[in-house]
Structure 1
């Protein structure tokens, strides 16, 4: 029996008649969901799903997805979410992971299909809860196996923060292939709370969705709220019933927090940070309702690491303004044991006894090894502060340019809601989202001349991946095409 089913079964015992999943037109209780889990046991067995197997799961409609996850966890199976209908790369990915069976929709039924050509050799630990693919917005996705023990360590601490409780109604805004989906299962099933699923695109109209569906806990990537603000759906005083807002997956900007607090004055805001490799999240910084927004150099901190996580800070110079930077390295009960493809471990782990001033890389991590997040942080009295990605520092004409800092400067213009900077040839190019207004240029005098964007392209909206994050590759391609065409 997996950890997710353990949580779910506890809710079914304690509060069987409490709402578990609210879909448009129907509310499913925990008892209803358990009845479906029982029925799915026979479907899985008849389809050849073996206990402990890795099973591909397509996006399923409504409450069915949650019943399938619980049923698979009951059998100790690893859930491997995938995009249905992609016969190319995604099916190849499943085969490389040793997946032999898929749970998919067929007409109105949930069925099990066989997949031919499953390979051996993937590193998936015993007692694996799920295997998630990293977003792949800027690199080839890696498969991240998260064990029941990893998930338990995360859940035990996160639930202690009081984010969700019995009777809460949680906005489920995450796709199954993003680990935010599993965050939502933890929040609901550790508390006996209800997951509220939106109708198609209903959740883009955030304040309307929240009011009409009785949401008390909001969860999303920051980009989701940015879109809602553009659509005029973060109206002042429009969401008094929300008590907690959890934002994760992207850097959180102060102006977005201010806009949220104007709309939901009774809500605390939790800035959740953490790589998928360390199970959903490793740090939080909470801004309580009514509390002043405390910033560090204009940034919202990510806070201290969880008790189930240890950190090592590897010096990385300074930011050019005298702030000392470190690469954040993590280990502990939440850290994965290694990527599913062992080749992906290269360059991502340091030996457990490493000196931070001269760390030693390892390609076969053990329980003491440090995972290299690739994120740069600084210290503050409010905990750690995220300062960008190590991989976002580039050399131009022999000089170091921090693209994250370029974006920060662009974002100080009140017209700019989001910015993305990248290198094209030997110059910096930037895309900005917002209202161009009178068409005057953005003040970039705070940047050194070689770091100032040669072109700033205004876009109507940043393209997004299915998980809600910015699709960086699509954005850069569109900007390059517009510059080439002269549009």
Structure 2
């Protein structure tokens, strides 16, 4: 997804995460079996192999040269794994096989790294009847994860924004607030940038003071100053204090003078096709932004366009719908938007 920023994570940062994570209330033993699906350059891998090893539990790793989602499924099925943390894209690829998947020994199923679709996780629940299912959130700059949301078994009770499952509340000693343009705290229900703080916050980027100064900042709290990280994610809070993910700050574009949230286009597409969708904006030869919609396994783009034209204003209807057999993914298992952008 571009040039790596080199996020510094200290022993103290990671120790704070492990303690906070274990204090959530899991009942792990040395008999638990953890799935490790992530590339070792991704911070989530630390979560999936250091935590179980510290408990005396087992780790089952997906080799680098295998098709991750299929190999992960075989590990889950053949070895009776009890803990799995995965990007939502993993189960999106497995969706055609849901009717034949039943993982009764899985006790904890966590999703993180990218937005989680409510319909997708609702269907997945039938495959993991005995698992507690959670959506976890956290940029590398905040050391693995800092917010979590336990997903209710009743689909009607799942909190969401445009079909994207809530990211919940900070756990452990993590803190968060919704910031306005001047990094002032916004009230409940107002959209703004998510800022996170606490002992898991990174010292900054390796040998990049300029970038560090742009997104890490301090706020006074009593007699001391607290360190915060501005995530670039747009959120709002509900009356229960849960954070709802609304999109990326760079996911808002101007089209014909109107502000467009690309996530809204993706939401209506997922609702219609029940498959993955990515909307991207790119400047055309006239210097104006055009919306391009990538859709997985779309047999009738014309019908999709007609559906979207009934749900969205004209300026939000994609100028191009591009069907793809399968989305490209990065080494961390997320949809690789950079590669899609290069296809436009």
Per the normalisation by structure 1, the TM-score is 0.62
Q: CA deviation at 1:437?
A: 5.9
Partner of 1:420, secondary structure, is: strand
Question: In structure 2, the residue corresponding to 1:352 is in which secondary structure?
Answer: strand
Q: Name which one, 1 or 2, has greater alpha-carbon Rg.
A: 1
Match of 2:265 in 1: 406
The answer for the alignment partner of 1:454 in structure 2 is 319
Q: 2:206 aligned with 1:347, yes or no?
A: no
Deviation at 1:382? Answer: 6.1
Higher relative contact order (CA 8 A, sep 6+): 2
Unaligned ranges ≥5, structure 1: 1-136, 317-321, 355-365, 481-487
- For structure 2, list consecutive stretches of 5 or more residues without a partner in the other structure: 182-187
8 A contact 1:154–1:308 mirrored in 2? no
1:339-360 deviations in whole A, cap 9, x for unaligned?
Answer: 1121221421333139xxxxxx
Q: Counterpart of 1:375? A: 233
- What's the counterpart of residue 261 of structure 1? 125
Question: Aligned-pair distance for 1:467?
Answer: 1.4
Cα distance in 1 for residues equivalent to 2:317 and 2:68: 39
How many angstroms does 1:289 deviate by?
A: 5.6
Write the deviation string for residues 195-253 of structure 1: whole angstroms up to 9, x where unpaired: 012453375155443121221111211111111224x2x33562111111111100011
How far apart, CA to CA, are the structure 1 residues paired with 2:304 and 2:316? Answer: 16
CA distance, structure 1, for counterparts of residue 79 and residue 22 of structure 2: 23
| Separation in 2, partners of 1:411, 1:367 | 43
Residues paired across the two proteins, number: 325
In structure 1, how many angstroms separate the alpha carbons of the residues matched to 2:229 and 2:301? 47
SS of corresponding position for 1:404: helix
8 Å contact from structure 1 (residues 179, 276) kept in 2: yes
User: Hey, what does 1:83 align to over in structure 2?
Assistant: none
Residues 405, 203 of structure 1: alpha-carbon distance in 2 compared, 3 angstrom cutoff: closer
Secondary structure (helix, strand or coil) at the match of 1:394 reads strand
Query: 8 Å contact 2:37–2:68 — kept in the other structure?
Result: no
Which residue number in structure 2 is paired with residue 331 of structure 1? Answer: 197
- Report the counterpart of residue 211 of structure 1 in structure 2: 77
Q: TM-score, normalised by structure 2?
A: 0.86
Give the alignment partner of residue 243 of structure 1, picking from 94, 97, 107.
107
* SS of corresponding position for 2:84: strand
Q: How does 1:19-58 map to 2 (within 5 A)?
A: none
- 1:295 corresponds to 2:166: no
SS in 1 for 2:129: coil
Q: CA RMSD in A?
A: 2.6
Question: Are the aligned partners of 1:329 and 1:370 in contact in 2 as well (CA < 8 Å)?
Answer: yes
- Are the equivalent residues in 1 in contact too, given 2:16–2:200 (CA < 8 A)? yes
CA displacement at 1:154 relative to structure 2: 0.8
> For 1:158, what is the secondary structure of its paired residue?
helix
